[in-house]
Structure 1
């Protein structure tokens, strides 16, 4: 039974609905072991017939039967598999892939076989040695002569062990010596039991084979056997084909990227600048948020909630609550928190401790012959941090912390630190339980000096309570300092405090938290940093356009390569993946470059500003980096979709004919 049969093959082209027949009913059969030359003049239909036999041309009438099975040219997957497993091409113009080495040009066909990596490389080297190119494996095609390139093409055609070799004018571009070598190689291939079909218009080439089929005006007008077909080897082993693995596409894409590295580096630099800007502004937003949080946390414990009296009975904002403390001097009693209210606070879930606190509206300090008046002295609670104490320590029993300005007024600008450990007299006005004014006083030791901003004048709470009791004053607090068990519960506890009501459904207390202040500030900072990052993101759109243009240029430049890969049996999916993966490489390396740039800039800016603010103002997080990489990959992938789709939809015949 014949290995290849052509039955009534007809093909016509149309121009403005006018029909131009090319093949007019071709009936032929071929056996393995034959070296068949299809001879004829240009325009006689030889190449068209070869494209049909090779599974590249799908629009024709008739049947192609290979090894007893009809090849359905309407099924693209079947044709891909047919070209991958059965057909090997040798072209007049060699059709090697310029950015791949000689070895890689052969390996690209072997990637679609089931051989492992080592076996593929071994077979490629053996084939190159067979065609006399064992010493040229690492060169690129542009460094070889015409004859050498044709021998690489032959090695590639044999790589996947196809049973049908199609040679389209294989010696058309060679001198006589190279022509003889190539014909001998084709003859050897036929001796291996394969079917070799060579298209030629040279009688000399045709005479070298075992059979000559003459094609003229779309018809067979001669079929001459020169000698019998070569015998087929007993039980020959054939390589098994497979679809192209994704990793093979990635390797090819990476090699092309490196081959055109300097051109692609400009694209990567442009994309990296956009990603760098987004990273920088995101990191700046993180740093500003962190700096503000650090500064606010230096004023108060973030797990602390300050509770004040709600004098209106209605919902009050934190600003309104803090403004209500101005009533302290005019009507201190109105700000007192009753014990019953304190007990209700203690029952709120999530609270670990409740401290009574006192804010003294006005007071006087005396040291030797010097006096100093002040406003707003607080009892020390766990809500206050020690970061604001520049000298000394927090107040213990019988101790007080003064501000730097107070210490200077009570001593001197030069010796104010020496006031630590000294005893000063403190006096202030308060009220008793009936609202009558009383005066409390006592001697306290200076334990520390504060910066006056994050820590004001503060006295030990027990010491202050003792002084009030001794003056028969009321020990009801005018604020509470509540410590919350979990930082994430601070706002929840604050809401519960705000919702405490009396018998008339009026709100009785209000909560002030550091977290809510931070939340408001951070919202504005995040909005500003997001806006800046969005503006920087415009450059990413420009980068995406650059990648699109680059990919379209790449498709145009590599049109013939696309045709070669399709002829080798690669699917449309493989072609799409080839171009999208190259674009993804561009995005990935752009992100790495952007990360390097932003790290250098971040180190420089943080180093330059640290001595001013004692804080790293730019803070790049893992999330920022992950987002940058994700954006780079998504943009590069989307930018490659249309060019990749165009590449995959190219007609293999037209692609092979491209210059």
Structure 2
């Protein structure tokens, strides 16, 4: 039984409805150890026949048998396996991959074998040495002569140890010396037990084979034995073919990326700019959030809950109640909390202490004929952080703590001189009959606070303020209550229990925690950060378009390479993965560049701003870095989908004939 059999092969091309037959019933048998020359003029069907034998052409009629088994040309996977494990190609135009050196060109075929990495490289170097290129291993194809390129092509064809070597006009571009050397190499391949099929239009080349098949006008005109076939031994192969691994695809993609690094660097920089902008604005949002939290936490006890009267009687969140408060600006009596209501707060679980308090929107301090006004006067409670007073101590009876800025306005730049001074306090409120009244009193300055960033903290204790209100016949009911939770973990539960307190079916209180304040502020900061990042993200769309264009250009430039890889046995998915991998590598390098640039610029901004706010305003978290890489990979992957799909769908025959 012959190793390769062709039965009744017919092939036609069509121009519109018109049929042009090329092969008109080819019947041939081939044995291992033969060097068969297919001789014929151009247009006679030689290359078409080779494409059918090589598993590249699927649209024909007839049967191809390999070692007694029919090769089904309708099954793509079977053809890929066949080309990968059985066929080796040698082309007139060499068809080497320009961005790979000659060792890597040979290893393209070896990457689809069970050999390990070291053995693959060793075999590639041995084959190149065998064809006389042992001293040229580091060179690229463009550094070789025509004869040397053909030797590389021969080494690549032999790499996976295939049984059939197809040589399409192998000496067509060579001089007489190189032609003779190549023909001797092909004879040696046949002598090693391979089936060598050479397509040629030269009688001199054909005479070097063991058999000449003359093809004329799509038919076998003559099949002549020139000399006996070589004896065939049956050694066990040292390795087998296998599908290309993902690692090999990524390596090939990386090699091409590096070969065209400077062109690709423009794409990487463009993508990195968009990623940098998104990352910087996100980091700035993190910093602003952290700064606000730090500022609020430095002034307010995190276990504190601020309680106010709920004049609506409805269950409202802290945000909803704050929005309603503007409706009662001219009805302050509706915001008062009676002693009866105060007692209900003591019944709430997880509450450590309940302190009534007063808060006024306007006040005046006077000392030594100097007056200073303020807009936030509040009695001292446990709501203030322990380090709110920067100089002196918190106020006791008939004492007051004032802001650093207030102290400077009263006594000059040496603000600590204000400690121990007695100042006059004036503020406005109402009587029990809701009539305006001025409250006056003298209090001793015992503490100086620093609200920071323009926040003024001025206040007496509750006892002192109540005495001043009583003396002025003003209403003495508290207008807020400071409740301290038993622990930080109990704050939210205690606040919700306070909001749920009822009397006659109406809700009594609203409650605000430090977390509520931070959540509201952070929400606005996050919205601003998202808007800025979205604006910056527009550049990512441009980057994606740049990658798409680059990938389409790469497909066009590498069309012949795609044909070569498919002829060597790579699957459609391998081609898709090759271009997707290159795009993903562009995304990774872009993300790395973006992270480095963001870190450098962020560090510079932090250095400049730290002298002003004493805080790092750009804070890049590990999550931001991971997010940047994820965004880069998603953009790169989506951008590569269409070009990679187009590359995988190219017809190998058409791709090989591309210029």
Report the TM-score, using the length of structure 1 for normalisation: 0.89
What is the rounded CA distance, in whole Å, between the counterparts of 2:514 and 2:56 in structure 1? 73
Q: Which residue of 2 aligns with 1:458?
A: 459
Q: Which residue of 1 aligns with 2:536?
A: 536
Residue 50 of structure 1: CA displacement? Answer: 0.7
Summarize the Cα distance change of 1:489–1:55 in structure 2 as closer, same or farther, 3 Å threshold. farther
Q: Deviations over 1:574-604 (max 9, x none)?
A: 0000001101111111111122222222222
| Counterpart residue number, 1:130 | 130
Over 3 Å counting, the alpha-carbon distance change for 1:455 and 1:37 in structure 2 is: same
Aligned residue for 1:458, secondary structure, equals coil
Please say if 1:567 is aligned against 2:567: yes
For residues 227 and 420 of structure 2, what CA distance do their matches in structure 1 show?
120
1:420-431 residue pairs with structure 2 within 5 A?
420=419
Q: What does 1:219-258 correspond to in 2, within 5 Å?
A: 219-258=219-258
Q: CA deviation at 1:358?
A: 4.4
**Cα distance, 1:488 vs structure 2:** 7.3
Distance 1:369 1:268, change over 3 A: closer
1:620-659, Cα deviation, whole Å (9 max, x unpaired): 3333322222221111111111111111011101111111
Which residue does 1:381 correspond to in 2? 381
2:503 corresponds to which residue?
502
1:289 corresponds to: 289
| Structure 1 position 265 matched with structure 2 position 283 | no
Partners in 2 of 1:391 and 1:361 — Cα distance? Answer: 24
Alpha-carbon contact 1:327-1:335 (below 8 Å) kept:
no
Q: Which residue of 2 aligns with 1:37?
A: 37
Q: Is the 8 A contact 2:563 2:653 kept in 1?
A: yes
Write out aligned runs for 1:438-449 (5 A). 446-449=446-449
Aligned-residue offset at 1:334: 7.3
TM-aligned CA deviation for residue 458 of structure 1: 2.9
In the alignment, which residue of structure 1 is the partner of 2:480?
Answer: 479
Deviation of 1:74 after TM superposition, in Å, equals 0.6
Q: Within 1, Cα distance between the matches of 2:118 and 2:602?
A: 46
- The 1:208–1:515 alpha-carbon spacing in structure 2 relative to 1, beyond 3 Å, is same
Q: d(CA) in 1 for partners of 2:602 and 2:550?
A: 31
Query: Structure 1, residues 493-520: CA drift from partner, whole Å, max 9, x if none?
Result: 44442332212x2232222344334333
- Match of residue 394 from structure 1: 394
Q: Please tell me whether the aligned partners of residues 36 and 196 of structure 1 are also in contact (alpha carbons under 8 angstroms).
A: yes
- Tell me, yes or no, if the aligned pair for 1:388 and 1:454 is still in contact at 8 Å: no
CA shift for structure 1 position 533: 1.9
Distance 1:257 1:351, change over 3 A: farther
368 and 178 in structure 1: CA distance in 2 versus 1, 3 angstrom threshold: closer
Aligned equivalent of 2:642? 642
Of stretches 592-601 and 649-658 in structure 1, the one that deviates more from structure 2 is 592-601
1:317 is paired with a residue whose SS is: helix
**CA distance 1:551–1:404, change in 2 (3 Å):** closer
Please give the residue correspondences for 1:176-191 in structure 2 after superposition, counting only pairs within 5 Å.
Answer: 176-191=176-191
Q: Which residue number in structure 1 is paired with residue 95 of structure 2?
A: 95
**Higher mean C-alpha deviation, range 284-293 or range 629-638:** 284-293
Q: CA contact under 8 A between 1:299 and 1:454: conserved in structure 2?
A: no
Match of 1:354, SS state, is strand
1:553 aligns with 2:523: no
Is the Cα contact below 8 Å between 1:309 and 1:337 reproduced in 2?
Answer: no
Partner SS state of residue 459, structure 1: coil
Deviation at 1:357, TM superposition (A): 3.3
Deviations 1:185-221 (A, max 9, x none): 1111111111111111111111111111111111111
Cα distance, 1:138 vs structure 2:
1.3
Distance 1:202 1:485, change over 3 A: farther
Superposed CA RMSD: 3.6
Tell me which residue corresponds to 1:417. Answer: 416
Contact 2:253 2:578 in 1 (8 A): yes
| Separation (CA, whole Å) in 2 of partners of 1:248 and 1:369 | 86
Return 388-397 or 147-156, whichever deviates more.
388-397
Matched, 1:8 2:8: yes
Q: How does 1:74-113 map to 2 (within 5 A)?
A: 74-113=74-113
| Alpha-carbon shift at residue 457 of structure 1 (Å) | 2.6
Cα distance, 1:484–1:229 mapped onto 2, change above 3 Å: farther
CA drift at 1:17 = 1.6
Question: Which is worse superposed, 483-492 or 537-546?
Answer: 483-492
C-alpha distance in 2 between matches for 1:189 and 1:104? 22
Aligned match for 2:321, one of 317, 321, 330: 317
| SS of equivalent to 1:636 | helix
Seen in structure 2, the aligned counterparts of structure 1 residues 433 and 45 have a Cα distance that, compared at 3 Å, is closer
Distance change in 2, residues 1:487/1:223 (3 Å): farther
Structure 2 unaligned segments of length 5 or more: list them: none
Q: Which moved more, 1:28-37 or 1:16-25?
A: 16-25
CA distance in 2, matches of 1:644, 1:375: 66
User: How far has the Cα of 1:414 moved from its partner?
Assistant: 4.9
Q: State TM-score, norm by structure 2.
A: 0.89
Tell me, yes or no, if structure 1 residue 577 matches structure 2 residue 566.
no
Structure 1: which 5+ residue stretches go unaligned?
none
Helix, strand or coil: the match of 2:56?
A: coil
